[in-house]
Amino acid sequence: MTQLETAMAILIKTFDTYAAGEGKKDTLTKAEAKALLEKELPGLLKMTKNQDEVDKLLKGLDFNGDSEVDFSEFVVLVAALTCACHNRCPKK
């Protein structure tokens, strides 16, 4: 697989691993989303100053308001964070 195909497969596997923990297998509960952020994006959580900010982030992921994070909502987060990182990184 190409690097991009591998990255896509990792995104899918990561989401599915955390979504399988409790509730529906194709969505993340608040607890699953928090666990994913804590384990897979620890640098992001270090930048937040308090738990309220983490809760706002989790609530913001739930675009359709169903109290769960589906794969599309998860991918939007990853894409937004990737864009933010790309803009901050010096260009080679």
pTM for the whole thing?
A: 0.77
Q: Decide: residue 69, CB within 10 A, 0-12 exposed, 13-18 middle, 19+ buried.
A: buried
Q: What angle do CA 48, 27, 7 make, to 5 degrees?
A: 70
Reported in sequence order, the residue ranges of the chain that DSSP labels E, i.e. its strands, are 27-28, 69-70
Which one is predicted more confidently, 90 or 3? Answer: 3
Taken in order of first residue, the domains within the chain and their CATH numbers are 3-88 (1.10.238.10)
Q: What is the pLDDT of residue 54?
A: 67
Q: What is the pLDDT of residues 37-62, one digit of tens each?
A: 889 988 876 766 666 766 777 777 77
Question: What does pLDDT average to over the chain?
Answer: 83
pLDDT tier, 91 (very low <50, low <70, confident <90, very high otherwise): low
